[in-house]
Amino acid sequence: MSVSSNIATDGNSLVIQVEGRFDFSEHEAFRQCYELQGNKPDRFVVDLRQTSYLDSSALGMLLLLRDYAGGDEASVEIINCSQDVKKIFSISNFDQLFAIH
Amino acid sequence: MVSQATTESILIADDNLVDRTILSKIVRQSGYSVVQAKDGVEALELYAQHSPRIVLLDALMPRLDGFAVAREIKNSPAGEFTSVVFLTSLTAADELASCVNAGGDDFLSKPYNKVILQAKLRALQRVQDLHSKMQQQSSELRKHNVHLVQEQEAAKAMFDSVATRGFLDAPYINYLLSPLAVFNGDVLMAAPTPRETLMLLLGDFTGHGLTASIGAMPLSEIFYGMAQKGFSVSDIVHECNRKLNSILPIGYFCCAIVAELDFRKQTINYWNGGLPPGFLIRPGAEATVTLEPEHLPLGVLPSTRISVVPKVIEAHPGDRLILTTDGIIEAQNLEGEQFGYERFAEEIAEPHEKCIEHLLAEVQEHMGEQSRDDDFTMAEITMQSPETAQVQFDSKSLEGELGADVWRSTYELRDCSLKQFNPLPMLVRLLMHCPSLNAHVGDIQIVLSELYSNALEHGVLGLDSTLKQSATGFQQYYEQRAARLESIKGSVFFEFDCDARQPEGILKIRVTDSGDGFDFRQCGGPNAKGNLGYHGRGLSLLSDLCHQVQHEGSGNTVSAEMHWETGH
Amino acid sequence: MSELSNEQDAVANAAADLDRQALAELQDLLEEDFVGLLEEFIDSSEQGAADLVEHIELLNYDALRRGAHSLKGSALNIGAPNLGARWSALEDAAVENATMKQLESLLQPARIELEQTTDTLRKEFFSG
């Protein structure tokens, strides 16, 4: 499985890693990563260090996470984006919705 | 025990009569009927006649051995599954292997043991039952699939009729819209407007298939409906976004560029939400302009939260506008390397008779054997002079018939409806039934909205406009406005008088509110276009757009008169 | 080895060593057809054995193998495992293309075993 998650050392953040292609085939795995958490974490971090490609359905999945995390009040960070992935975020202007590093 | 199997027959093929007789007895006792063959050829004949689901085969038989019979049975095209059991006292491993290779499902060795044989028959029966259940399910699945394909084809027909429609046949528009699956998530639409401009929309919905196409239906309705009524890029973006945001589930959206090409003013107004930058390529040494995505895609945020202000760029005859979705740019070769934005920019920069075909060939060369996994959609529009653009807007196509040129109407909005309902879109639609007014929809929207907010805020709600002059007052003004709206009482009364006969149309709009009015005569004398010397009420803007604007009565009525060339 | 000792036993005993339980079960299964089946077994085995003599003379290994295989199957089924083992040895020898001498040395005790088996069966089950 190429989607995995763990609670960060601060105990309040859920870190989700996506490996390889981030597209519709990861839909269930990605959703389960955050929905199956017992207590809803305060912060969500999506680590894309190992992500080679991301398509528009991945953007949709991130919107779902954002909605789950509280919509406009959500704290969702996207970290370790490659240049290609960053470009996709900047074209779609998702940097207006997420903290992207 | 095998009660439901009483009608099932089992074929037993063995050249040895003694063995065959013993086996037949045991099988009959187990509740099956038996068909007996004494060699391989006879076995195949009887198999064809009786179609038994279980066949017991001796390996060594005259004429045709058991291996050949098994192979023939397993390769027969009939959908039913046949279990083949080899009757053998073969013991060498390679001989057993040839039984399996020939399609044998089990072995039965001599001497026959009744208990073992009956247990095997029960097991084979279970396999048969399982198989027929699977067959049934797979035939149901096939039926569902056929149904699904039919539905998808119907949906595709609908989708195609909205995805590429309108003005795309114009000789200066080239486009490529290649479906990946039955239908794809890309839409390209073009419509002439009453201003004789060309409105374009290129969109890319998230995902593929049905989900991607669902949003295309309302999108195309809104686009064509609004474009031909003369609404602006902002209006169209606002409405498309509102609609998609309300109907699409979270996570679904549409990256889109909406652009208005004005061949007379030689400008392009565009709004890009999430599509790759478009290009405006100018012949000669002039720098290429990019149409950057500055907004989130349509449907992500509520319309109150997005900016719908378009950008304006100059575009002269011969300039080429090139728009694309991400499919071409992200096309990968076997090594996973994308075609890339830079290469795309490079390829289209050179003037090319068949720019799109050229690019497509390049992309396919890049991809090699790799199968495409997104849609290749792009459009190339060459800017024209007003004469060659020929965006002749056929106003008669609007709302069907000739429309209403000479008419009067009144409309009054009262009490709580003033809080709950915005009458402006409805009134604009009413006015648009006069065909020649469609070219002026922008002006009319401004005039109506100024008149209405003046009547509502200063008339019915009695708000003091001088408040808005300071920053704290501004805040106060809107707090008061909200508070007073809660218990609003009163009315706003609209009167329209339209005469659009040749050569000049005249529209008179009178808006009367239930407020106290004011002494407009004390607030500066009438100016050239009316008596709007008083600036506090924000109506001075209207004097630029109208032939005449003036206060009447006790100051609670404002009348505006617009003139235009009817041109027919 | 073990086959060899079986061979000596079989020659020593005039009565064939049959699987009594298997025969009882067969009788049970076939009821009134039982005797008919035994007759068929005896006839087809004697005919089969005679055919084998011919196959060995012509060194027709394939026919020999098939014939021995068939004889082995019915011997085992009828409850005559020793006879089955004789035919089986001959079948194996045919597969291995044994010499005529070797084949004949295997056929001989098999025919004796067959004779004893049919004698025993006749004695025990044929009333007339």
Residues of B in contact with A93 (CB under 8 A): 273-274, 293-297
How do the residues of chain C divide into helix, strand and coil, expressed in percent and rounded to 5?
Answer: 85, 0, 15
Domain-terminating residue out of B389, B404, B427: B389
Residues B311 and B257 in one domain: yes
CATH of the domain at B281: 3.60.40.10
The sign one gets for the Cα dihedral A81, B241, B394, B544 is: negative
Residues B235 and B371 in one domain: yes
Size of interface B-C (CB pairs under 8 A): 59
pLDDT at residue B479 in the model = 84
Chain C residues with CB within 8 Å of chain B CB:
22, 25-26, 29-30, 33, 37, 40-41, 44, 65-66, 69-70, 72-74, 76-79, 81, 84, 88
Task: Kindly report, residue by residue over B118-142, the tens digit of the pLDDT.
Answer: 899 999 888 888 888 888 888 888 8
DSSP A31-76: HHHHHT-SSPPSEEEEE-TTEEEE-HHHHHHHHHHHHHTTGGG--E
Contact C69 B29 (CB under 8 A): no
Task: Kindly report, residue by residue over C81-122, the tens digit of the pLDDT.
Answer: 999 999 999 999 999 999 999 999 999 999 999 999 999 999
Residues B358 and B435 in one domain: no
Residues of B in contact with C73 (CB under 8 A): 16, 19, 58, 87, 89, 110
Find the range with the poorest average confidence among B261-265, B283-287, B339-343. Answer: B283-287
Contact B110 C37 (CB under 8 A): no
Whether B333 is covered by a domain: the verdict is: yes
Q: Which chains are within 8 Å of A by 3+ CB pairs? A: B
Contact B21 C40 (CB under 8 A): yes
Residues B186 and B98 in one domain: no
Separation between Cα atoms, residue B428 and residue B441, nearest integer Å = 8
Separation between Cα atoms, residue C69 and residue B59, nearest integer Å = 10
Task: Determine contact, residues B83/B11, Cβ cutoff 8 Å.
Answer: no
pLDDT at residue B399 in the model = 44
Mean per-residue pLDDT, B158-175: 74
Whether B125 is covered by a domain: the verdict is: no
pLDDT at residue B209 in the model = 63
More confident residue, B358 or C128: B358
Contact A64 B251 (CB under 8 A): yes
Domain-terminating residue out of B345, B365, B389: B389
Structural domain containing residue B100: 3-112
pLDDT at residue C47 in the model = 95
Interface of A with B in 4-43 (CB under 8 A): 24
Residues of C in contact with B18 (CB under 8 A): 37, 40-41, 44, 74, 77-78
pLDDT at residue C6 in the model = 52
Residues B207 and B284 in one domain: yes
Contact B89 C79 (CB under 8 A): no
First to last CA, chain A: 25
Whether B145 is covered by a domain: the verdict is: no
Separation between Cα atoms, residue B523 and residue A79, nearest integer Å = 61
Count Cβ atoms within 10 A of the Cβ of residue B472 and give its class: 0-12 exposed, 13-18 middle, 19 or more buried. Answer: exposed
b/e B334-359 (16+ beta carbons within 10 angstroms → b): eeeebbbbebbbebbeeeeeebbeeb
Task: Kindly report, residue by residue over B449-489, the tens digit of the pLDDT.
Answer: 889 988 998 899 988 877 777 777 777 888 888 889 888 99
Please list, in sequence order, all residues whose beta carbon lies within 8 angstroms of the beta carbon of residue C23, skipping any fewer than 6 positions away: C78, C79
Contact A60 B255 (CB under 8 A): no
Residues B370 and B407 in one domain: no
Among the four given CATH numbers 1.25.40, 1.10.3470, 1.10.287, 1.20.120, the one describing domain C2-7+16-123: 1.20.120
The answer to whether residue A97 neighbours chain B at the CB level (below 8 Å) is yes
The answer to whether residue B299 neighbours chain A at the CB level (below 8 Å) is no
pLDDT at residue A45 in the model = 92
Percent of chain B with pLDDT over 90: 27
Closest approach of C80 to chain B, Cα-based (Å)? 10
Find the range with the poorest average confidence among B83-97, B362-376, B527-541, C83-97. Answer: B527-541
Residues B210 and B75 in one domain: no
Q: Is the pLDDT of residue A67 over 70?
A: yes
More confident residue, C38 or B393: C38
pLDDT at residue B396 in the model = 46
Residues B383 and B401 in one domain: no
Whether B216 is covered by a domain: the verdict is: yes
Q: Tell me the longest C-alpha to C-alpha distance in chain C.
A: 44
Contact C29 B89 (CB under 8 A): no
Q: Which domains does chain A have, with CATH numbers?
A: 3-100 (3.30.750.24)
Residues B351 and B420 in one domain: no
Q: Omega into B111 within 30° of 0, i.e. cis?
A: yes
Q: How many structural domains is chain B composed of?
A: 3
pLDDT at residue B36 in the model = 95
- Domains of chain C, by residue range, sit at 2-7+16-123
Q: Which two tokens stand for residue B231?
A: 């609404």
CATH of the domain at B92: 3.40.50.2300
Touch test B–C: 3 Cβ pairs or more under 8 Å: yes
pLDDT at residue C14 in the model = 55
Nearest CA in chain B to C68: B60
Q: Which two tokens stand for residue A8?
A: 């960060």
Q: Is the pLDDT of residue B192 over 80?
A: yes
Whether B408 is covered by a domain: the verdict is: yes
Q: Which two tokens stand for residue B158?
A: 């609908």
Task: Determine contact, residues B424/B233, Cβ cutoff 8 Å.
Answer: no
Helix (H) or strand (E) holding B19: helix B17-29
pLDDT at residue B208 in the model = 61
Q: Which two tokens stand for residue A86?
A: 């960053």
Domain-terminating residue out of B49, B79, B112: B112
Closest approach of B88 to chain C, Cα-based (Å)? 8
Percent of chain A with pLDDT over 90: 24
Whether B134 is covered by a domain: the verdict is: no
pLDDT at residue B162 in the model = 66
Nearest to A3 by CA among A14, A15, A17, A13: A17
More confident residue, B206 or B394: B206
Whether B534 is covered by a domain: the verdict is: yes
Residues of B in contact with A24 (CB under 8 A): 207
